[in-house]
């Protein structure tokens, strides 16, 4: 069952628009009321002057949700963004893993057992003599291994891990940008589809009124059955458009819930992002996707050095302390301490390391090419978004002009139809053109706001910091500083 969109609560000047065939006996100004409500819907949603738009199928609250508030909510609680943050924290742990190559590895071991022993000595004719008993071997020891030189592999592993962290931070920034843009789109889609649904319902009411008047004129012999059928057909088509608008609004509400985390209630008009936009096309180096690609190149080039390091000599120290007892006598034990410096020089390993080195170099070349691909993609996105923004501004102007002209035309057609100079179909067509113009204006205004944020995203500036959102800022460096120098510990910094 359809739920009516509530009144928007703002009064504008009375819009004078005569009914198709003059005044109606039951309501002297039904068409004026319908047109006034349609215009009020557009002005309230799109001018950004005052008030809020209530969403159909939802619970209506007193305070209006603003676009910055919705973005702040998505920034703080969106599961996709929180998952990317968790992924970054996992990448942070690569640095202490790499640093472990500088640190000693210590292990302890102990053993205990029992052994049965029997010995015999050849005797005389009467047999042999011998001894029997049990041994309880046991021991314990501790060993330390310390790498002194490993062909700079540890150093390059640490630098690789740091590059991976920097790249993951930029990937998080890119995810944040995409999430905020999705939130803007979801917010504006709900506003757009709410207004379109209201316009379509207005149109159904107006066509109902027009059909009633056409039937009265048919009964009076002023029009033919064809005029009645045309009005009925247009009304049926309008009702189908209401059903389509309801379905679109339901889908937009579901997307809003997915991105922002709550069902929309009362939404305020969404302002464009003009004040944060650059005056001209900026350099693209600050875009997080490009920065992430550059860090990927650094990590790939360092990986080449890591593999090459396997061909270098390695030097290590091993030290141990052990105590063993293998006999029955109490206190009969041996203690040993050892210290060994071991030099290993690889001579030939079958060519496997050489192949992996060449492979790593090709991968590094691939990463360098991918940087250019990313630059081209970002450049194309900026130019496209910039052009789309300019186009939406022109579309708004054109739609406003179209509405004014369509209103004048509809008024004229209605007056001419009242004196028999226009047909019912011409009135219906003029009314449909006005409805289309109003829908075009709603859509263009939505596109205008979304395009401004699209430009901001394309140039790499769509972030909670730039928008000054009222939400706790996520510090990607904090977790890194907490874990990079940890030698031991199973718990994460947040206590898990």
Contact status, residue 214 vs residue 232, Cβ threshold 8 Å: no
For the segment 218-247, the average pLDDT, to the nearest whole number, is 90
Determine the pLDDT at residue 136: 78
Determine the pLDDT at residue 9: 27
pLDDT of residue 283 exceeding 80, the answer is no
Element (H, E) at 486: none
User: For 156-165, 340-349, 482-491, which range has the lowest pLDDT when averaged over its residues?
Assistant: 482-491
Bridge partners (DSSP) listed for residue 106: 144
pLDDT of residue 380 exceeding 60, the answer is yes
The pLDDT tens digits for 71-104 are: 999 998 899 999 999 999 999 999 999 999 999 9
pLDDT of residue 49 exceeding 80, the answer is no
For the segment 4-11, the average pLDDT, to the nearest whole number, is 30
pLDDT of residue 252 exceeding 50, the answer is yes
pLDDT of residue 61 exceeding 50, the answer is no
Confidence band of 8 (pLDDT split at 50, 70, 90): very low
**Which runs of consecutive H residues, i.e. helices, occur in 222-268?**
225-260
For the segment 27-56, the average pLDDT, to the nearest whole number, is 45
Q: How far is CA 178 from the centre of its chain?
A: 5
User: For 8-17, 256-265, 267-276, which range has the lowest pLDDT when averaged over its residues?
Assistant: 8-17
CA distance 457 to 180: 9
Determine the pLDDT at residue 494: 79
Determine the pLDDT at residue 363: 94
Determine the pLDDT at residue 42: 53
Contact status, residue 186 vs residue 255, Cβ threshold 8 Å: yes
For the segment 108-114, the average pLDDT, to the nearest whole number, is 87
Bridge partners (DSSP) listed for residue 121: 129
Average pLDDT of the residues of the chain: 82
pLDDT of residue 258 exceeding 60, the answer is yes
User: For 51-55, 164-168, 178-182, which range has the lowest pLDDT when averaged over its residues?
Assistant: 51-55
Determine the pLDDT at residue 178: 93
The structure's pTM equals 0.80
Q: Which two tokens stand for residue 340?
A: 């060994």
Contact status, residue 418 vs residue 31, Cβ threshold 8 Å: no
**Which runs of consecutive H residues, i.e. helices, occur in 283-351?**
288-308
Contact status, residue 199 vs residue 46, Cβ threshold 8 Å: no
For the segment 47-63, the average pLDDT, to the nearest whole number, is 40
Rounded to whole angstroms, what are the CA distances from 96 to 246, 326, 482?
Answer: 54, 42, 11
Determine the pLDDT at residue 326: 72
Confidence band of 126 (pLDDT split at 50, 70, 90): low
CA distance 192 to 444: 9
Rounded to whole angstroms, what are the CA distances from 422 to 105, 210, 217, 430?
Answer: 96, 15, 14, 11
Residue 174 exposed, middle or buried by CB count within 10 Å (0-12, 13-18, 19+): buried
CA distance 157 to 103: 14
Confidence band of 50 (pLDDT split at 50, 70, 90): very low
Count the residues in the chain.
Answer: 496
Residue 245 CB partners (closer than 8 Å, separation 6+): 193, 196, 197, 200
pLDDT of residue 45 exceeding 90, the answer is no
Determine the pLDDT at residue 18: 35
Top-confidence residue, 114 or 234: 234
pLDDT of residue 472 exceeding 50, the answer is yes
**What whole-number percentage of the chain has pLDDT above 90?**
49
CA distance 246 to 254: 12
369: helix, strand or coil = helix
Q: Which one-letter DSSP state was computed for residue 20?
A: B
């Amino acid at each position: 069952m359809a739920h009516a969109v509530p009144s928007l609560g703002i009064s504008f000047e009375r819009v004078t628009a005569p009914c198709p065939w003059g005044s109606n006996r039951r309501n002297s100004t039904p068409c004026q009321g319908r047109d006034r409500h349609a215009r009020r819907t557009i002005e309230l949603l799109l001018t950004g002057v005052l008030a809020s738009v209530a969403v159909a199928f939802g619970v209506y609250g007193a305070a209006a949700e603003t676009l910055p508030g919705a973005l702040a909510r998505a920034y703080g609680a969106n599961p996709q963004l929180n998952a990317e943050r968790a992924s970054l924290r996992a990448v942070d742990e690569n640095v202490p893993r790499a640093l472990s190559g500088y640190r000693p590895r210590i292990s302890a071991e102990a053993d205990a057992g029992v052994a049965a022993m029997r010995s015999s000595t050849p005797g005389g004719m009467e047999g042999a003599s011998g001894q029997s008993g049990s041994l309880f071997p046991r021991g314990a020891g501790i060993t330390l291994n310390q790498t002194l030189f490993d062909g700079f592999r540890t150093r390059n592993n640490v630098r690789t891990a740091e590059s991976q962290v920097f790249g993951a931070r930029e990937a998080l920034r890119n995810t944040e940008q995409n999430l905020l843009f999705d939130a803007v789109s979801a917010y504006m889609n709900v506003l757009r589809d709410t207004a379109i649904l209201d316009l379509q319902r207005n149109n159904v009411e107006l066509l109902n009124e027009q059909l009633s008047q056409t039937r009265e004129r048919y009964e009076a012999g002023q029009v033919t059955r064809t005029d009645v059928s045309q009005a009925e057909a247009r009304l049926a088509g309008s009702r189908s458009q209401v059903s389509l608008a309801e379905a679109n609004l339901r889908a937009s509400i579901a997307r809003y819930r997915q991105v922002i985390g709550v069902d929309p209630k009362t939404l305020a008009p969404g302002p464009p992002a003009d004040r944060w936009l650059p005056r001209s096309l900026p350099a693209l180096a600050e875009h997080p996707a490009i920065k992430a690609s550059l860090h990927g190149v650094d990590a790939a080039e360092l990986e080449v050095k890591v593999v090459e390091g396997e061909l270098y000599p390695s030097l290590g120290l091993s030290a141990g302390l052990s105590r063993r007892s293998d006999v029955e006598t109490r206190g009969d034990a041996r203690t040993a301490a050892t210290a060994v410096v071991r030099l290993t020089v690889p001579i030939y390993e079958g060519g496997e390391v050489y192949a992996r080195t060449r492979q790593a170099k090709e991968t590094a070349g691939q990463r360098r090419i991918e940087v250019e691909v990313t630059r081209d993609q970002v450049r194309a996105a900026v130019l496209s978004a910039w052009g789309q923004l300019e186009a939406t501004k022109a579309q708004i102007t054109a739609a406003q002009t179209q509405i004014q002209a369509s209103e004048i035309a509809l008024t004229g057609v209605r007056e001419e139809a009242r004196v028999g100079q226009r047909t019912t179909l011409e009135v219906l067509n003029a009314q449909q053109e006005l409805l289309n113009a109003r829908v075009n204006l709603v859509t263009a205004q939505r596109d205008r706001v979304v395009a401004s944020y699209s430009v901001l995203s394309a140039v790499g500036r769509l972030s909670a910091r730039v928008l000054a959102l009222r939400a706790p800022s996520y510090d990607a460096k904090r977790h890194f500083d907490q874990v990079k120098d940890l030698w031991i510990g199973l718990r994460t910094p947040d206590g898990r």
